Amino acid sequence: MVLGKNKTEKPVKKTEKKSSAAKPVTNPVDIVAQINAISPKMTTNKLYGGYNNSFLNSKKKFNIDYIDFIKKICSLIEKQSSFQDFYNEVHDLLTNVINTSYTGIGLYNNKSNSIHLKVLSKSGATYTSRIFKNDTESGIIKAFEENKKVILSSSEFLNNPYIDNTSVGIFPLSHNGEKCGVFLAGDEQINSRLDIYEIVNKLLSLYVLNEQLVENKNLSSDIDALTGLASHGAFQEKLADEIKKASTMKTELSVVIFDINSISQINRELGHAKGDEIIRTVADKIAQSSSDKSLIGRYGGDEIAAIMPNTSVEEAKYFAEYVAYSLSCCLIDNVGPIRVSIGISSYPENTQDQEKLLIMAEQAMYISQSKGYQHGMATIVSSQDFDFWDDMALSSFASVLTKRHAQVGISFEEELVKKFHNEEIISQHHLLDVVTSLASAIDAKDTYTKGHSTGVARYSEALARAYGLEEKEIERIKLGAVLHDVGKIGIPEQILRKPTSLSDEEWQIMKQHPTIGVEKVIKPNRQLHDLIPMVKYHHERYDGKGYPEGIKGTDIPLAARIVSVADAYHALVSDRPYRKGMSIEQACDILQEGAGTQWDKELVRIFVSIAYSLPVL
């Protein structure tokens, strides 16, 4: 529901877990030499004044000393512990001080043979995509492969309507011939500012390459120093080998992931030495309980995983139960028994892809974590034990992909829509269940409208019945109402959760959600084509001042007019963090005030007549 341009919801602040990777060791001589080589020309910025204006923004004049700007960027290296944090700070400097329209980082992923690109707009919205190396026409691939900067006069190649269509510089992230990706800067003055962007690019290159060196060093060791188990890298290599064997021999393989509960709290309250003691104990118990054919490895900071060849899910569960019981008998001073969450996935029953096998085991582990201990024992969950469209399963899947997005290049929204289109629908009831789960997952992007889609569906059904429509049409309207906001899947969370008024640019993005819903979700599924009018036109107004096409009156399909009234009413009577929901009387007054202009007058009359008999959802 989007009633107007102003939003006052309070956002949920997200924090990223900081990496412990070492900070980069830059070459001071090279950097200083490049800085000194820059003539004392100035770039433009609204935060600084008093310098000569050598570069002009298309709207305003801005001034900043190049060397002062470089010092600010260099100072960030000492403050940030991960490349992502460093890049975010650099982005803020460039957009706020240099007035860069947008920036982007694309890191090369050897497994997918592609560059995983992340673009940040000036407003902070994030957009991701993948560019495969075989796309030789791409300026991004050209810059990466040839290790040379590419300057383009347009940003249209990004196929993203949400960022300014400006000139753009694409710079290879590399050092001493070692390439790791690209850096993008959208700027109409790009040619006048190449030297400063190249300096920024050099710092970014050094930082990311150093972080990768530390990560590769950790992965290259076959033995984890703390537990004596296989390292993460060795575990991945062993899993790849075992999957090949299982494929050749046509046998089963199970992966079991154990996550130690409350380890962060233990580290914080009792110290890391106590946390390390618990991790070693868990590792020892799992290793002692496993067979010779299994491989046990340190999967993450507080996660131990087992590869179990020729092992069914039932056998893996038996092993996990024994380990969980053994750990419950281990009493740690000041902690008590050790508790774990356990997830299991199986090859080839769940998937034949290595990354997805691990993702599904992690998903099952998150569900186990949510279920907690029952009757004093860990809840062991396998990928066969839950329906993908279950609320808990969807939430767990989102958690896994959010954590691993940079590594696997898969977003939750992409996988959700893909799964939706591939779902084999066996009945109308099944379709409604799947559609409802999809809508609920999308509602969750905006934490303040949880349950909105199902509420609108209930009110739309009631209005359609009061209007006297046939049962078949009522069921269609109910389904369309559930999906009316499905296009929010393509709207950045920064905009959905923004606590203040949307800017003109952000409002234009928000207004695209009906079209996004139709193009991305509805059209690819032939079973849903008759829902297009409701999804696309539920924000049209009776006076023609709505969106996306500005149609008016009875040109707006009846079903869309019904959903529009129900959508507005639910938004008015629902509680929000910043206000209580309006009374039925207040909401009806607002609907009547807009009858004939915003909403169909007859539909408002009918809805008001039944409103007091409807529950507040």
CATH number at residue 461: 1.10.3210.10
Q: Which H helix or E strand runs over 406? A: helix 391-408
Domain boundary at 218, 248, 280, which? 218
- Distance from chain centroid for Cα 231: 28
Task: Examine the domain organization and report whether 261 and 381 are in the same domain.
Answer: yes
The CA-based dihedral angle spanning residues 141, 147, 151, 157, taken in that order and rounded to the nearest 10 degrees:
10
> Quick one: pLDDT at residue 89?
86
The strands making up 253-260's β-sheet, listed across from edge to edge, are 295-300, 303-309, 253-260, 340-347, 380-382
Residue bearing tokens 């021999």: 249
> Quick one: pLDDT at residue 71?
79
Q: What pLDDT, in 10s, does the model give residues 265-306?
A: 888 888 888 999 999 999 999 999 988 889 999 998 889 999
> Quick one: pLDDT at residue 196?
87
> Quick one: pLDDT at residue 268?
85
Task: Examine the domain organization and report whether 381 and 416 are in the same domain.
Answer: no
> Quick one: pLDDT at residue 391?
73
557 has a pLDDT exceeding 60: yes
> Quick one: pLDDT at residue 70?
75
Query: What average pLDDT score do residues 502-531 get?
Result: 88
| Residue 224 forms part of a structural domain | no
The reply to whether omega before 548 is within 30° of 0 (cis) is yes
Range of 550's domain? 412-611
CATH number of domain containing 208: 3.30.450.40
Strands 42-43 vs 64-65: parallel, antiparallel or unpaired: antiparallel
Query: What average pLDDT score do residues 394-418 get?
Result: 69
| Residue 131 forms part of a structural domain | yes
Query: What average pLDDT score do residues 521-546 get?
Result: 92
Task: Examine the domain organization and report whether 185 and 333 are in the same domain.
Answer: no
392 has a pLDDT exceeding 80: no
233 has a pLDDT exceeding 50: yes
495 has a pLDDT exceeding 90: no
| Residue 440 forms part of a structural domain | yes
Task: Examine the domain organization and report whether 388 and 442 are in the same domain.
Answer: no
Task: Examine the domain organization and report whether 546 and 452 are in the same domain.
Answer: yes
Task: Examine the domain organization and report whether 295 and 435 are in the same domain.
Answer: no
| Residue 315 forms part of a structural domain | yes
Q: In whole angstroms, how large is the CA radius of gyration of the chain?
A: 28
Going from the C-alpha of 431 to that of each of 424, 437, 475, 481, the distances in angstroms are 9, 10, 12, 14
103 has a pLDDT exceeding 50: yes
> Quick one: pLDDT at residue 79?
65
253 has a pLDDT exceeding 90: yes
Task: Examine the domain organization and report whether 400 and 417 are in the same domain.
Answer: no
Task: Examine the domain organization and report whether 122 and 250 are in the same domain.
Answer: no
Predicted confidence band at 525 (pLDDT cuts at 50, 70, 90)? Answer: confident
| Residue 366 forms part of a structural domain | yes
34 has a pLDDT exceeding 60: no
Task: Examine the domain organization and report whether 60 and 83 are in the same domain.
Answer: yes
Task: Examine the domain organization and report whether 426 and 562 are in the same domain.
Answer: yes
Question: What is d(CA 582, CA 572) in angstroms, rounded to the nearest whole number?
Answer: 6
Task: Examine the domain organization and report whether 460 and 475 are in the same domain.
Answer: yes
> Quick one: pLDDT at residue 450?
63
> Quick one: pLDDT at residue 45?
32
| Residue 154 forms part of a structural domain | yes
Predicted confidence band at 6 (pLDDT cuts at 50, 70, 90)? Answer: very low
Task: Examine the domain organization and report whether 316 and 458 are in the same domain.
Answer: no
Predicted confidence band at 262 (pLDDT cuts at 50, 70, 90)? Answer: confident
Domain boundary at 187, 218, 249, which? 218
Predicted confidence band at 425 (pLDDT cuts at 50, 70, 90)? Answer: confident
Least confident of 2-11, 225-234, 443-452, 586-595: 2-11
Q: Strand, coil or helix: what is 331?
A: strand
Domains of the chain: total? 3
Query: What average pLDDT score do residues 73-88 get?
Result: 73
Query: What average pLDDT score do residues 376-405 get?
Result: 77
CB atoms within 10 A of CB 87: 21
61 has a pLDDT exceeding 70: no
CATH number of domain containing 328: 3.30.70.270
Q: What pLDDT, in 10s, does the model give residues 346-368?
A: 999 988 889 889 988 999 998 99
Q: What pLDDT, in 10s, does the model give residues 595-606?
A: 999 999 999 999
The reply to whether omega before 514 is within 30° of 0 (cis) is no
Angle, nearest 10°, between helix axes 272-289 and 313-328? 130
Domain boundary at 381, 406, 431, which? 406
Q: What pLDDT, in 10s, does the model give residues 426-439?
A: 777 878 788 888 88
Question: What is d(CA 306, CA 225) in angstroms, rounded to the nearest whole number?
Answer: 18
| Residue 83 forms part of a structural domain | yes
Least confident of 10-14, 137-141, 488-492: 10-14
Tokens of residue 331, six digits: 């009493």
Q: When comparing pLDDT for 477 and 210, which is higher? A: 477
Q: What pLDDT, in 10s, does the model give residues 467-476?
A: 999 999 999 9
pTM of the model: 0.55
> Quick one: pLDDT at residue 419?
79
Q: What pLDDT, in 10s, does the model give residues 116-172?
A: 888 988 877 777 788 888 888 899 999 999 999 999 999 988 888 778 899 999 999
| Residue 547 forms part of a structural domain | yes
Average confidence score pLDDT of the chain: 82
> Quick one: pLDDT at residue 52?
33
